[in-house]
Structure 1
């Protein structure tokens, strides 16, 4: 197997690398790594798709959606596949990653972003949600890490704490929902969500990856339809 670096960037959070993984007789796979840690690739995208599909099924009318974390754009792609969605803002802190998506370094990026419903916001998702207009979104998907137990950056721990979750709740319309992706059970997150929203639930999600069954979790909290 051969690895070819496509792009590299440095930020205050460390190093971001985009590389191709080449194996004889197999399609070229694009892989994203942060500080040497695997984030995602273009071979296994079912988890990102499952997150979006499951979250969209929770809301009757998801006209306005926020996705925290761009990755390689597959969650955004799945959100835009839902005809009920009128706009989707993706908040990504790494400016280089947004640039790679826009300029075609990530080959499918320009086509994805040609959808006029899509908007990329270069910002810390905690700041972006704090600045959002009250009751302006129907669905917030948080896919910045693989959950509170698997942080890409240590500072992301605050995204699973009361202060941030309160800002996310304030940005949601009645009937809206916050959905957090986690690779493992996160009982502390469920408790904190319940404290902010009044109730929360952990939903198991089975995903098939390379002929193996993987078990993930969606942590869901809703705003009542009538408050």
Structure 2
């Protein structure tokens, strides 16, 4: 795509600038000068949702960390078993643009089954902000992964203390799934350190063909053990 982007909106936040750009038919999200995502291929955002939903028998309450361009949340809402989705997004302007319908890709998410919250997902998981848990599913897509951060402050989210907090925010039998733009053995190891008897930690590698290259993305999951007897 050689044509220059057209900026739809730009705003400064305490965590840096956030901008929405249109390049032809493609919508781009840029955060603090770092490319975050676009609509060239949204399959991994959708797979984050569908992989998690397919592994839970009753995902009634879901927390999505990171609004992005809305594709993960929309895929969650497509599942009729989901009663309510909370979306925690650090960038207030992005939430405002979604509510305004600034771009069709972001429009129409909020409603009876979905609430957008301007909040740090780490604070939400810890019970310091936003809606209260527990959740059946927690989906995290707030960075390009633990080694390619959009916000340097998010590094702690991928370490054992924060992952233990995320485990505590899961309902019994709940599932945490973290998206990464690369294989992240450190994250896999950190998940294993917080696992308790009966918990299951897993890595799924996704190969995506994009702009002439094969890229390996990854999903890291943590399933909290159900009650004995399946209750």
* Alignment partner, residue 116 of structure 2: 120
* Alignment partner, residue 11 of structure 1: 13
- Is 1:47 matched with 2:48? no
Structure 1 residue 213: Cα displacement:
3.8
Give the alignment's TM-score, normalised by structure 2: 0.89
Give the alignment's TM-score, normalised by structure 1: 0.90
Structure 1 residue 111: Cα displacement:
2.1
* Alignment partner, residue 217 of structure 2: 216
Classify the secondary structure of the residue corresponding to 1:168.
helix
* Alignment partner, residue 144 of structure 2: 146
- The CA deviation string for residues 147-189 of structure 1, in whole angstroms up to 9 with x for no partner, is 1011101100010112211221111111111111112221121
Q: Any gaps of 5 or more consecutive residues in structure 2?
A: none
- Is 1:157 matched with 2:155? yes
Comparing 79-88 and 189-198, the one that deviates more: 189-198
Structure 1 residue 208: Cα displacement:
4.1
The count of corresponding residues between Structure 1 and Structure 2 is 220
Comparing 145-154 and 124-133, the one that deviates more: 124-133
* Alignment partner, residue 200 of structure 1: 201
CA RMSD, 1 decimal: 1.7
Q: 1:56 aligns with which of 53, 57, 60?
A: 53
Are the counterparts in 2 of residues 90 and 119 from structure 1 also a CA contact under 8 Å? Answer: yes
- Is 1:79 matched with 2:76? yes
Q: Distance in 2 between matches of 1:152 and 1:218?
A: 18
